[in-house]
Structure 1
Amino acid sequence: MQRTLIALGPVKIIGFCLAITLFELLTYMASDMIMPAMLSVVKEFEADARHVPNAFNLYLIGGVCLQWLIGPLSDRYGRRRLLLIGCALFALASSAAIATRSIEAFNVLRLIQGMGLGFVVAVSYPALQEVFREADAVRLMALLGNVALLSPLLAPLLGSLLLEWLSWRQLFLGLGFAAALAWLLLLMCMPETIGVLRNDGKHLPPTPLSFRQILRRYAALLGNRTFLCASLALGFMSLPLIAWIGLAPLLLMQWQGLSAVEYGLWQIPVFAAVIVGNLLLDRLLPTHALPRLIGLALWPYCLGLLALLCSMLTDESVPMLVAALAMYAVGLGMSNAVLYRIALFASEDSKGLVSAMIGMLSIAVMGAGGWLIATLGGGTSLKLFSLWAAFGGLLCLPPLQRVLRT
């Protein structure tokens, strides 16, 4: 039985899924693998330690800054062409890091690297939704997300180990070579979903590119309360995890005095918990409606954030903080793919533009929230981090209430 909406052979289905997974993995790897070396980077460039979280936030901003255009371009010229361009841009930016001589040049390349994340969100995610049927698309996003989540789970530890033999510049060069491999896989296996007659008889024609019309369509999306609330909730729900990724090098290595390897080991429980949440989602998906799944996910999510607040009562306890983050992360893993699906289909507009707007709103919340948490001292003590990360995560509840009522 044909399980895809576009005719594909089994080899190309596997190749397409692997290519998207590898590209997504690399966009996260480029962020997380370098984090154990960030103290060395700022020392080499004689820069302030504030550039440690700034480099991560710039990466997120890069993921936002072009999405408004990437989505409509993929609606007009096709998903395949745009994703190939994005993958090539990411590979070039990663390889160019070997030649940087200042923190300013390094930050610019981080911004350009982050644009690769924008292509993943605005192009590859809609392509998956358009190739596979609903249940399979949600399941694939969750299961493929597990593979992508191996990056933040293993990348800090892997980066710490590789830095024993390689420089941070060589790490970036390796990411560039891996991105070139992903580009080749996309070239050989990715189908075009725009302008193609699908198995269900539907046809997704190219959408004319008019900037005035694009602005009107974005404005209409902002007026769609279900879409807006789901997109903002996505950002707030991920904020504690994003803040942890950006500030953990300062919290664990600079202030707690842990080694780079110990820092990497403390990342494993948090990101393993996200994978557990995704696996629970896969088991519950066949028997539960999407809003019901979010309701179930809120139990570990909220309990984890409350435990994070309780960790403030202890004397800077890393184990308790990580345990609270792990509980929260189970709820995040159970809800993320479901909430994305709800946001994507809250509007009848073309999915490239809708996905771009989801990415812009959610990543803007994560980037601005991460910067604000760092500014308020979240990188100076475990107690301040716990306070602001928990507060930021709980801000998802008002928009989620609106989503669940529709």
Structure 2
Amino acid sequence: MQSTLINISPRQTAGFCLALTTFELLTYMGSDVIMPAMLDVTSELEAHARQVPNAFNLYLLGGVCLQWLLGPLSDQFGRRPLLLSGSALFGSSCVAAFFSDSIEAFNLLRVLQGMGLGFVVAVSYPALQEVFCEADAVRLMALLGNIALLSPLLGPLLGILLLEWLNWREIFLLLGFAAALVWLGLLLWMPETVGVERRDGHRNPTVSFSWRFTAQRYGTLLGNPRFLCASLALGLMSLPLIAWIGLAPLLLVRVLELTPLEYGLWQIPVFAAVIAGNLLLDRVLRTHTLQQLIQLALWPFCLGLLLLAACALLGVGLGPVVASLALYAVGLGMSNAAVYRIALFSSDDSKGLVSALTGMISIAVMGLGGSLIAAIGGGSRLEYFALWAAFGGLMCLPMVYRLLQTTTPDVASPQ
């Protein structure tokens, strides 16, 4: 790992990365660890089972609600105070879920908990890019992604294990306590990057907040074709994985009548494949440009989705569907951090604002797309899920094609 772009000690760098990684892990764990208990939640709160995927999609959409404001605010007031506020909001909303007495209150708290994800995307990711040089920032995004992906990989299994001793309310209380520890870690170790003089002589700019000016900046960014292609591609590329997370409890436990433990075990191949793709990214990044890396990742990505569509048409069982998802997930893991980097640097505007709109677009695509797949029967039959998930993922190809045509071949090698 190369030295940081701003003057912080190795100990503070390690502490910052640890606290940031833990917060990201918790924001995903807040969704995934509770999924095995969602049928218990709907039963206790006297709600219909269709609320199971709704809770997940509301969590994602909660991540969109504040991002448009968080990015510009962090450009003016700094990344550190905004991220501290976000961890406090996430922790308090998890504690509040312990006291929820209706599905409406529960869903509202899911939106508030999902806002923590918005703080991660709009505030912490730009800080990471501003602390480290390009090659190291891409590597860290991939490595942090690996750790975050342990949530959907281990989250259901951990949820099943915790349910042996705790109920779903107590699990939320545990998440709130963990968020309090993260808040303390960020308070101790997170550096401020906005307005700070860097070692290369440049200064990360402070941008004053203005409603009118912010709207104009967002309008300019929405008129940037390269940015739009990258942001839409990020959402559509992840849509099959997001749909799987949201609908797997219904498909595996309710439709296929698997045990909760079997449900958790079937998650392992898919998310292990994403991690494998991220590890491949770290190796290939040494000798390939971001453009070449994405082109390489499209092979397993497209082949996996085409096989997934074939599974739907042939009516095969769970094994081939999971294998196809795993192949697709390798390509997703290889390409996700690279596409995000292209989106973030497709504009010269402040990275807080660019990251905010990138997150809003990509998470909205994932949340709305997942809701649509659930609404048209993706949770009722495995074949329907496979067909619509494959179709949604392949819709990214026109955006990726245009993105590759307009991306300059900048080598992301170690600096």
For normalisation by structure 1, the TM-score amounts to 0.99
Q: Helix, strand or coil: the match of 1:200? A: coil
Q: Helix, strand or coil: the match of 1:258? A: coil
Which residue is equivalent to 1:55?
A: 55
Paired with 2:323 and 2:2, the residues of 1 have a C-alpha distance of 43
Which residue is equivalent to 1:371?
A: 371
Equivalent pair of 2:130/2:204 in contact (CA under 8 Å): no
Equivalent pair of 1:32/1:156 in contact (CA under 8 Å): yes
Paired with 1:258 and 1:30, the residues of 2 have a C-alpha distance of 23
Paired with 1:189 and 1:103, the residues of 2 have a C-alpha distance of 38
Which residue is equivalent to 1:217?
A: 217
1:46-85 matches, within 5 Å, as: 46-85=46-85
Offset, 1:291: 0.5
Which residue is equivalent to 1:290?
A: 290
Read off the aligned partner of 1:93 and give its amino acid letter. S
1:123 and 2:123 aligned: yes
1:141 and 2:150 aligned: no
1:116-195 matches, within 5 Å, as: 116-195=116-195
Read off the aligned partner of 1:117 and give its amino acid letter. L
Offset, 1:164: 1.5
Read off the aligned partner of 2:294 and give its amino acid letter. I
Equivalent pair of 2:39/2:52 in contact (CA under 8 Å): yes
Which residue is equivalent to 2:353?
A: 353
Q: Helix, strand or coil: the match of 1:228? A: helix
Which residue is equivalent to 1:208?
A: 208
Paired with 2:190 and 2:234, the residues of 1 have a C-alpha distance of 27
Deviations 1:223-273, CA, capped at 9 Å, x for gaps: 100000000000000000000000000000001001111100000110000
Q: Helix, strand or coil: the match of 2:98? A: helix
Paired with 1:167 and 1:292, the residues of 2 have a C-alpha distance of 48
Paired with 1:326 and 1:205, the residues of 2 have a C-alpha distance of 41
Paired with 1:404 and 1:195, the residues of 2 have a C-alpha distance of 33
Paired with 1:315 and 1:136, the residues of 2 have a C-alpha distance of 44
Equivalent pair of 2:2/2:136 in contact (CA under 8 Å): no
1:373-392 matches, within 5 Å, as: 373-392=373-392
Paired with 1:144 and 1:400, the residues of 2 have a C-alpha distance of 23
Paired with 2:401 and 2:313, the residues of 1 have a C-alpha distance of 30
Deviations 1:323-379, CA, capped at 9 Å, x for gaps: 010000000000000000000000000000000000000001001100100011000
Which residue is equivalent to 2:412?
A: none
Equivalent pair of 1:98/1:173 in contact (CA under 8 Å): yes
Structure 1 pair 5/32, CA: closer, same or farther in 2 (3 Å)?
Answer: same
Structure 1 stretch displaced more, 175-184 or 340-349: 175-184
Structure 1 stretch displaced more, 161-170 or 342-351: 161-170
Equivalent pair of 1:291/1:404 in contact (CA under 8 Å): yes
Read off the aligned partner of 2:222 and give its amino acid letter. L
Equivalent pair of 1:316/1:382 in contact (CA under 8 Å): no
Q: Helix, strand or coil: the match of 1:60? A: helix
Which residue is equivalent to 2:30?
A: 30
Which residue is equivalent to 2:409?
A: none
Offset, 1:322: 0.6
1:231 and 2:231 aligned: yes
Offset, 1:144: 1.4
Read off the aligned partner of 1:180 and give its amino acid letter. A
Q: Helix, strand or coil: the match of 1:287? A: coil
Deviations 1:38-86, CA, capped at 9 Å, x for gaps: 1111111111111100000100110001000000000010000100000
Offset, 1:205: 2.8
Paired with 2:369 and 2:144, the residues of 1 have a C-alpha distance of 26
Which residue is equivalent to 1:8?
A: 8
Equivalent pair of 2:270/2:325 in contact (CA under 8 Å): yes
Read off the aligned partner of 2:160 and give its amino acid letter. S
Offset, 1:313: 4.0
Gaps of 5+ in 2: 407-415
Paired with 1:140 and 1:43, the residues of 2 have a C-alpha distance of 41
Read off the aligned partner of 2:189 and give its amino acid letter. C
Paired with 2:133 and 2:231, the residues of 1 have a C-alpha distance of 22
Paired with 2:279 and 2:154, the residues of 1 have a C-alpha distance of 18
Q: Helix, strand or coil: the match of 1:286? A: coil
Which residue is equivalent to 1:271?
A: 271
Offset, 1:314: 4.3
Paired with 2:258 and 2:100, the residues of 1 have a C-alpha distance of 28
Read off the aligned partner of 2:345 and give its amino acid letter. F
Equivalent pair of 1:94/1:172 in contact (CA under 8 Å): yes
1:240-259 matches, within 5 Å, as: 240-259=240-259
Read off the aligned partner of 2:273 and give its amino acid letter. A
Paired with 2:386 and 2:215, the residues of 1 have a C-alpha distance of 39
Read off the aligned partner of 1:20 and give its amino acid letter. L
Gaps of 5+ in 1: none
Paired with 1:165 and 1:221, the residues of 2 have a C-alpha distance of 49
Paired with 1:212 and 1:144, the residues of 2 have a C-alpha distance of 35
Which residue is equivalent to 1:102?
A: 102
Paired with 1:201 and 1:186, the residues of 2 have a C-alpha distance of 26
Paired with 2:314 and 2:182, the residues of 1 have a C-alpha distance of 45
Deviations 1:102-134, CA, capped at 9 Å, x for gaps: 100100100000000000000000000000000
Paired with 1:175 and 1:45, the residues of 2 have a C-alpha distance of 20
